[in-house]
Amino acid sequence: MRIGLLTEGGYPDAAGESHAWCDRLVRGLTGHDFEVYALSSDARQEARPRTALPEHVRLVRRAPLWGDFPAGHRRAAEERKGRSPGRRERRRFAERFGDLVTSFATVPDGSGPARGAPYGDAPAGDPPSAPETSVTWKADRFATGLYELAELAREQGGLPELLHSEGAVRILEAVCHGPRALPAAQGAQVNDLLAVTDRLELALRPLSLDWYGDRHTPGLGGVDLCHATSGGAAALPGLLAKRFFGTPLLVTEYGVRLREHYLARAAAPLSVPVRALLAAFQGALAAETYAQAALITPGNTHARRWQERCGADRARLRTVYPGMDATPFAAVADAAPDDSKTLVWVGTVEPAKDLIALLHAFAEIRKAEPSATLRIIGGTGRDPRAPGYLAHCRVLAAQLFPDEAADARTVGENPVRFEEIGSPDLPALADAYASGAVVVLSSVIEGFPRSLVEAMFCGRATVSTDTGAVCEVIGGTGLVVPPRNPRALAAACTALLADPDRRARLGAAARARALELFTVEQNIAAFRGIYLELISHAPDRTAACRTRDAHGVPRPFARPAESHVPGRWAATGTATRAVTAPAGRTPSWAASGTGRSTEAPAAAPGEAGGGGTVREMGQAVRRDDPASHQAWPVRGREQW
C-alpha cells in the first residue's frame, strides 16, 4: 500500500528522536511504499545535509512553516489564475474566516453571535443554551470554517494573502471585542491582532500547498493511508486528504503537540491575548484532528490522558510505545555490575530537568556516602534559557562541593562533573550509562522518559521523579519519588548505593521489561498490524468513484477482491454449479477477466431446473444485477 507520512520539524531532514523514530519505521516496513510530506520549522532544518532514503520512499515533498509563502508550492490552478483575490473571494473568505475565529476566540456561554455580524452569520443559527451543545456548536463551526477555507484555497487560491490582509485583522478584532470573546483576548491591541494573524497564516499554510494532487501533479489523493507523526500542522494535510478523497487518517503522538505548544508559548515573549488566542486555536485544531482520525496511537498513558481531555474517543485510542534500538546498550548490560558510588544523570540540560533539586539532594547523599560522585552528562537543547541554567548549575555545584583532595600532595577535584557525549571519557551514549551504578532522573516536566528506557536497556537501577510517563515506563523496576523533593530523592539514591544486590535485581528486571515493551521490533510490528487493519476497513476509493447506485451514492464494495485475481479460472475438472434465476426472468451472464462461462436457456416451469436454471463453468459475473458482482471458483455442485 501507499502510505503518506506527514511530519513537522523532523523526518527526513532534522535530527532528533522524531527523525530517528520515523526512519526506523520506514526502514522496517519495506513492504509498503512511502510518500513523505514534510513541514520544516526553520531555515536551519532545510540547510542540513540530506541523508539517503530507502528505495521504497517514492516521493518527498517539503514546505516551510516560516517566512513568506513559497511561490513554488502554489497550486496549478492558482498559478494559471494569475491575479489577486477578487470581491467574491474576499467575501467568501470573510464569512469562513469569521466562522473559524468565532469558534475558538469565544466562550460557550450559550449566547450565539448576532446575525449579520461583521464576521459572518452563524451557519446554523445561534448555539443552544446547553453548555455541551454549545461546545459541539463551536466544534462544528471550527470544522466548517477550516474546510471551507481549504476549499477556497483549492478553487481560487490566494489564502495566504487573505490571511495577511486588513480584512482578516478586522474580523479578528470584531470577535475579540465582542461580548463573548475570551476574557484574556478582550484587551487585544492592533499589534496583538497582527501577531495572531501572522501565526495563523503559518499554522494554516498546509491548506494552500500543492500536495493534494490534480491532473497535473500527484499528491495525497493517491495514497491509501495518511500517517501523521504528530498533531498540529502535520495533521492538517491528513484532515484535508480525508475531506477531499476519503483517505483514512492515523495520528501518532509520542509527545502531545498541544502540550508542547502550551509549554513553548509559556516560555515565549508573547502578550497575554496572543498567547490565549493561539492556545485556543491549537486546542480546537487538536479536537478536530482527534475527531476525524480513524485511529490515534499515543506513546504512553500520560499522552493518552491528554488526548482524552481534548476530546479523543477512547475507543479509537491505542497505546503504542515508541521503539528504541537496544543493540548499542547490550554490551553494558552484559558487563560486570558497577559497584562504585557514582550517580549518573543523562539528558538535555534545561530548567524542566530540575538539576538544582538534584544538586541539593546530592549534598544530602554525601553525608551518608562521603565517597559518592555525580556525573551530569548532556548539553543544552533549543530552550533559550538552557545556557544560563547550565551556568547557574555549575556555580551552585562549586559552592555546595568545594574541590576535594585525598591528601596534601594530590590535586583536588569536585565530586560533581559536567560532561557531554563525545568527549574522550564518554565517546558514546552507552558509555554514559556504563560510568555509574545508579541512573537518576530529576525532572518536574517529562513526557516519555527516553533516558530512563536507555538505562533500563543497560540493566541499571534507577531513581526517578513521578512525572509524565515515568511510572508507566518503570512499572515497579525502579524507585520513584515525588518531584521537587530533594530529601526523598536523596533517600532513594542512598538506599540503592548501599545495597548492590538490590541494584542488580532491579537492573535485571528493568532490562527484561524494556526488551519486552520498548524495542524497535515491537513498534514496527504494531504499526504493520495497524496499517493492515485500517486499510481492511477502508473501501476501494477508486472503485467507489466509478460504481454508484441509482441515486449517485458510491458503492465502495461493488467489486470484491476476488474479481482482481488474474488468470483463467475455468480449469479442467471444475464442476458445474446450478444457478436458479428468478421466475419470469432470464439471467444474463458474462465472463469476468479471462474466465469462461456457459449459459443454458431458462427452463420452463415444471421442467428440470424449474424456475429457470443455468449451468455455470468456472467464474462468472452477473450483468443485470451490479450488487451480485461476485465470482468464485466452483468446487462441487451447489445451489446459488
Q: What is the 3-state secondary structure (H, E, C) of 451-472?
A: HHHHHHHCCCEEEEECCCCHHH
Domains of the chain and any CATH numbers: 2-67+211-316 (3.40.50.2000), 86-198 (no CATH), 327-518 (3.40.50.2000), 560-640 (no CATH)
Q: In this structure, what C-alpha cell is assigned to residue 232?
A: 498540529
DSSP state of 70: P
CB atoms within 10 A of CB 476: 11
Q: What is the pLDDT of residue 374?
A: 97
Cell numbers for 474, please give them.
518503570
What contacts 9, CB < 8 A, 6 or more positions away? 18, 39, 40, 41, 42, 45, 65
Angle between helices 131-155 and 236-245 (to 10 degrees): 80
The phi, psi pair for 80, rounded to 5°, reads -70, -30
What is the amino acid identity at position 145? G
Number of H helices, E strands in the chain: 22, 16
**Could you count the other beta carbons within 10 Å of the beta carbon of residue 507?**
26
DSSP 8-state secondary structure symbol assigned to residue 322: P
Distances (CA, A) of 5 to 57, 59, 282, 285, 474: 10, 10, 21, 19, 31
d(CA 592, CA 575): 18
Q: How far is CA 431 from the centre of its chain?
A: 32
With residue 227 as reference, give the H or E element that holds it.
Answer: strand 225-228
d(CA 507, CA 492): 15
- Give the span between the Cα atoms of 118 and 175, in whole angstroms: 9
**pLDDT for res 553:** 59
End-to-end CA distance of the chain: 34
Residues of the chain with pLDDT under 50: 80, 110-131, 215, 543-545, 563-564, 568-640
What phi, psi does 590 have (nearest 5°)? -145, 145
User: What angle is formed at CA 70 by the lines to CA 67 and CA 75, rounded to 5 degrees?
Assistant: 145
Instruction: Give ∠ CA 358-363-367 in degrees, rounded to 5.
Output: 140
Strand order in the sheet with 33-40: 57-64, 33-40, 2-8, 225-228, 249-253, 295-298
Burial 65-96 (b: 16+ CB within 10 A, else e): beeebeeebbbeebeebeeebeeebeebbbbb
Q: Cβ(333)–Cβ(318) under 8 Å? A: no
Distance CA 592, CA 563 (A): 7
In angstroms, the CA 90 to CA 562 distance is 50
What is the bridge-based pairing of β-strands 342-346 and 438-441?
parallel
250: three-class secondary structure by DSSP: strand
Rg over alpha carbons for the chain, rounded to the nearest Å, is 31
Q: What is the largest CA-CA distance in the chain?
A: 120
Helix, strand, or coil (residue 120): coil
CA distance 327 to 330: 5
- Tell me if 289 sits within 8 A of 418, measured CB to CB: no
All three cell numbers of 173? 478584532
Please say whether the dihedral angle defined by the alpha carbons of residues 415, 417, 423 and 428, taken in this order, is positive or negative: positive
Cell of residue 573, nine digits: 475438472
3-state secondary structure of 213: coil
User: What pairing do the DSSP bridges indicate for beta strands 620-622 and 589-591?
Assistant: antiparallel
Q: What is the pLDDT of residue 221?
A: 87
Distances (CA, A) of 595 to 114, 179, 428, 591, 632: 66, 71, 63, 6, 11
Answer whether 11's CB lies under 8 Å from 18's CB. yes
Cβ-contact 636, 574 below 8 angstroms: no
pLDDT at site 552: 61
Instruction: Compute the distance between CA of residue 570 and CA of residue 575 in angstroms, rounded to an integer.
Output: 9
